[in-house]
Amino acid sequence: MLKATGITKSFHTNMVLHGVDFDVLPGEVHALIGENGAGKSTLVNILSGNLSRDTGTVLFDGQEVDFAHPLDAMRAGVSVVHQELSLVPNASVAENIYLRREKTNAFGLNDWPAMFKAATEIFQRMGVDIDPRALAGSLSVGMQQLVEVAKAIALNAKLIFMDEPTSSLSEKEIQELYGVVNDLKAQGLSIVFISHKLTELFAISDRITVLRDGKLVGTRPTKQASPEEIISMMVGRHLNDLYPPRAKSIGEVIFKCRDLSLFGAVKDVSFDLRRGEILGIAGLIGSGRTEAMRALINADRRLSGTFELNGQAVTLDDPADAMEKGVIYVSEDRKSQGVFLDYDMVRNIGASTLDRQSRAGMENRKSMRQSALKFIREMDIRPARPGTRVVDLSGGNQQKVLLAKALNARPKVLIVDEPTRGVDVGAKSLIHKQLRRLADEGIGVIVVSSELPEVLGMSDRLLVFRNGTVASQLDNNDGSLTPESVMASAVD
Amino acid sequence: MTITERTIEADQTALVSRLVSSRQFWLILINLAVICTLGALRPDSFLSWINFKAVLSLMSYDVLLAVAMTTVLIVRGLDLSVGSVLALSSVVMAMLLRDGYPVFPSLLAGLAIALLCGFINGLLVVKAGILPFLVTLGMMSAARGFATVLTTGQYVSFPQAPRWFSRFARQEFGFHIGDMFYGIPALLLITLGVTLVYGLLLANWVPLRRMFYLGESPEAAKLSGMRTARLGISAYLISAIFVWIAAVLMTSANKIGYANYGISAELRALAAAVIGGASLAGGSGSILGTFLGVLLLALIGNGFVLLNGNPNWQQATIGAVLIIAVGVDALRTFRARS
Ligand SMILES: Nc1ncnc2c1ncn2[C@@H]1O[C@H](COP(=O)(O)OP(=O)(O)OP(=O)(O)O)[C@@H](O)[C@H]1O
Ligand SMILES: [Mg+2]
């Protein structure tokens, strides 16, 4: 189906792919895995005409091809679900799906009914409930990701690249996506599936290819590989202890939230957060997890809510006020609500601390640089050059920068929404350890995540959201909660 | 860990390449090239003190307005009303002076009206969420219209006003070399001074630095603890202050207030700011860049006059330079991507 040999690619002087060979058979699901910055997205971008390659040949359907533009690749039957969402926010979902390939009627005008109908059919096939007339920008990140998948399906492609399609989907949507992938495969399509979630790759792939530092480590039939083998291929060493140990001791309540409501999305949410514990928040997409956390810092104007921090009532009037009090929320949408893409790591990591890192009111770049270097080292951000613009970092490293920015602001209560979205196993366990360390130091940590194993592995206590309310509070201090018990309260 | 040392070294080698890839560096070279070309073609008329003084003084107003424009561009805004608000502010000050009010209250009234316009712009853009293009297009029309109604389109002179006011902008400070007196008008000195101070503040002072973050990503800025609404409105107020300074200087230098001051100045200001590195997408721009942008446009204009070119070509050339600047940017981002 597709056979690429000797692909190399450099950005400036930085060689990102070193002669990578990669092939895809007809009707197979081929998993691509590797650490953050290994070059997976770059490879996909090259094979789909989004980036040009330096050397190497690509055979597609037996013919040598050199896609100069994504549209060329689409015409040939190659489509991509990109890692970073690329929908047009002010256009409807259907328009996005048929962008530049609009269905037209006899007058050459857009045939809206046909597009809405076709989009609805695709969603039905995928088993998801999204209104094709809704504006793409009004959907949650998870929904947007599903629209990206629908867009690729609508192309009637022969080969679909999915670059971390499940990174912000919850368990239920992921299962549905697996169904879609298996359907497509049964129809003879080939799918290249990138993910950092090993269980996922083992569940759906036929073969697994591992990249490390831009080099091909190897390709294995999934049936003959074990997770341990893949991990050691990825990182070049063995990793143990996927999750850090749980809280040693749980102390007094440090943060209290009462009757938090947001119009139409969140209703009467109340919870306590204790010293030393990590509070997990689980729930399906659309269950109001993110909305509740945004309402808590009043990023979206809430209807009601009272809070107490270390025994004192606090108002949390707006995100700035919350940050001054020490309540910091890290968004799930890192590209548009998290990092400043065109700015370098120094400016990003210092964004919330301009005041603290100033001298006589003037920006103190030296101090900002020092903090950046400190976090680059602590979180192993690569490349370790503080002057690198965030847009040039791989997805996982962008996520680390985002976390570094929040940590730099010295939170008392840190709310992280999908803290390891798109982060590789090694980095993920590093972030988990950091979060646990913060909790041990007495900082309140709330982890919102769609990834059940993650919330289960991390949290001492779990709030399960359903329809904008807390459906249940589950104790997990002994780590005995099972995914089934959480799912049971997440779905009605 | 050697990461730190290696990093610092890498950053230092990057310094040279950063200079070469910096926009100001190229703008300085281009400006020098234009100066050399004109100097070679018209050594007598171009390379004279009188000509330099004229070019620089005339561009003072454009510098101030372009600085105003740069400020709002940084926060992802736009201000098409700079020229009209200049006229309105000038007319108000001139009328008060004419009616015998003392200088300072009159100037303050001019400032107040400019700030009011800026505040309305900022409020509608930031709080009501209307596109800055539409809001300031409306203000552009409204302010000019109001100024014309106030004056019925006539010049407003103020013979009774203290003489120092109608003189100070043209007052020259300078030095003698031999028999020649090299004077620099206050108008130019004030413009350069204010611009320099503001440029330094914009590059270093924390409250102004935040405006860049706001323009780069409003949502991320908000979640990073910045008071985005306040910042956005402040940008329009700062813009208004620069417009007012231009109005004071223009009123003093010409000794009249006039409702047709600053027509199409907003387009030159926008062009200069964009040439200087500001972007309609927000988050970038610098005062040095903007200054160099205005200088380039002024030199081109001067060139047309000295070479007896058809002045109508001047506007076309400004447009061409703008398109080239934007084109080069697009090419650079495109190349960086592939
Ligand atoms: N436009 C660019 N300019 C410079 N360097 C880049 C650019 N895009 C990517 N890189 C670098 O190329 C390397 C590979 O990045 P890539 O995005 O392919 O990684 P990835 O394997 O997809 O990682 P992740 O799992 O984090 O998404 C990284 O070191 C990254 O910093
Ligand atoms: Mg990637």
Instruction: Decide if domain A2-235 falls under CATH 3.40.50.300.
Output: yes
Number of Cβ within 10 Å of residue A268's Cβ equals 14
Question: What's the confidence (pLDDT) of residue A483?
Answer: 82
**Chain B residue whose CA is closest to A68:** B338
Instruction: Judge whether B188 lies within some domain.
Output: yes
Question: What's the confidence (pLDDT) of residue B5?
Answer: 47
* pLDDT level of residue B14 (50, 70, 90 thresholds): low
Report whether A93 contacts A133 (CB < 8 A).
yes
* pLDDT level of residue B13 (50, 70, 90 thresholds): low
Average pLDDT over residues B24-49: 90
Average pLDDT over residues A38-51: 92
Question: What's the confidence (pLDDT) of residue B3?
Answer: 45
* A387: chain B residues, CB-CB within 8 Å: 11, 14
CB contact under 8 A, B206 and A362: yes
Number of Cβ within 10 Å of residue B203's Cβ equals 15
Instruction: Judge whether B2 lies within some domain.
Output: no
Distance A50 CA to ligand 2 centre (A): 14
- Going by C-beta distance under 8 Å and a sequence separation of 6 or more, which residues neighbour residue A305? A257, A258, A259, A260, A261, A295, A296, A316
CATH superfamily, region A253-490: P-loop containing nucleotide triphosphate hydrolases (3.40.50.300)
Summary mean pLDDT of chain B? 90
Instruction: Judge whether B292 lies within some domain.
Output: yes
* B10: chain A residues, CB-CB within 8 Å: 385
Q: Which ligand is nearest to the CA of A34?
A: 1
* Residue-range definition of the domain harbouring residue B49: 24-337
> What is the CA angle A125-A145-A201, rounded to 5?
80
Name the residue with higher pLDDT: B13 or B20. Answer: B20
Do the first three CATH levels of A2-235 and A253-490 match, i.e. the same topology? yes
Task: Quick: pLDDT tens for A467-478.
Answer: 999 999 999 888
**Chain B residue whose CA is closest to A354:** B206
Question: What's the confidence (pLDDT) of residue B181?
Answer: 81
* Interatomic CA distance for residues B142 and B136, integer angstroms: 9
Q: Residue written as tokens 């700011």? A: B273
Name the residue with higher pLDDT: A24 or A244. Answer: A24
Average pLDDT over residues A171-180: 82
Task: Quick: pLDDT tens for B87-105.
Answer: 999 999 999 999 999 999 9
Instruction: Judge whether B208 lies within some domain.
Output: yes
Highest mean pLDDT among A2-11, B59-68, B172-181: B59-68
Average pLDDT over residues A215-231: 90
Average pLDDT over residues B283-308: 91
DSSP conformational letter for A392: G
Candidate of A41, A345, A389, A401 to mutate for ligand 1, largest count of ligand atoms within 8 Å of Cβ:
A41
| A362: closest CA of chain B, how far (Å) | 4
Question: What's the confidence (pLDDT) of residue B156?
Answer: 95
Name the residue with higher pLDDT: B338 or A336. Answer: A336
In this prediction, what percent of chain B has a pLDDT beyond 90? Answer: 68
Instruction: Judge whether B11 lies within some domain.
Output: no
- In ligand 1, the atom with minimum distance to the C-alpha of A12 is 4
For chain A, the domains span 2-235, 253-490
Question: What's the confidence (pLDDT) of residue A75?
Answer: 86
Question: What's the confidence (pLDDT) of residue B194?
Answer: 97
Question: What's the confidence (pLDDT) of residue A277?
Answer: 93
**DSSP three-state, residue A352:** helix
Task: Quick: pLDDT tens for A260-274.
Answer: 999 989 999 999 999
* Interatomic CA distance for residues A358 and A367, integer angstroms: 8
Nearest CA to ligand 1 atom 10: A392
Quote ipTM for the complex: 0.88
Tokens found for residue B332: 């650079």
* Interatomic CA distance for residues B75 and B77, integer angstroms: 5
* B216: chain A residues, CB-CB within 8 Å: 340-343
Question: What's the confidence (pLDDT) of residue A238?
Answer: 57
Number of Cβ within 10 Å of residue A21's Cβ equals 13
**Chain B residue whose CA is closest to A323:** B225
Question: What's the confidence (pLDDT) of residue A43?
Answer: 94
Interface test with B, best of A323, A343, A389 (most B CBs within 10 A): A343
Distance A236 CA to ligand 2 centre (A): 19
* pLDDT level of residue B4 (50, 70, 90 thresholds): very low
Candidate of A12, A20, A32, A42 to mutate for ligand 1, largest count of ligand atoms within 8 Å of Cβ:
A42
* B205: chain A residues, CB-CB within 8 Å: 361-363
Q: Which CATH number fits the domain that encloses residue B179? A: 1.10.3470
Q: Where are the alpha helices (DSSP H) in B42-131?
A: 43-46, 49-74, 82-98, 103-122
Name the residue with higher pLDDT: B236 or A239. Answer: B236
pLDDT at residue A481 is higher than 90: no
pLDDT at residue A153 is higher than 90: no
Question: What's the confidence (pLDDT) of residue B119?
Answer: 98
Overall domain count for chain B: 1
Question: What's the confidence (pLDDT) of residue B334?
Answer: 66
Instruction: Judge whether B17 lies within some domain.
Output: no
Candidate of A339, A394, A402 to mutate for ligand 1, largest count of ligand atoms within 8 Å of Cβ:
A394
* Interatomic CA distance for residues B246 and B64, integer angstroms: 6
CB contact under 8 A, B4 and A351: no
Q: Does A68 touch chain B (CB under 8 A)?
A: no
Highest mean pLDDT among B112-116, B162-166, B312-316: B112-116
Helix (H) or strand (E) holding A312: strand A312-314
Question: What's the confidence (pLDDT) of residue A394?
Answer: 86
Question: What's the confidence (pLDDT) of residue B327?
Answer: 85
DSSP string, A136-162: GGGS-HHHHHHHHHHHHHHTT-SEEEE
pLDDT at residue B233 is higher than 90: yes
- Give the pTM: 0.85
Distance A399 CA to ligand 1 centre (A): 13
CB contact under 8 A, A385 and B213: no
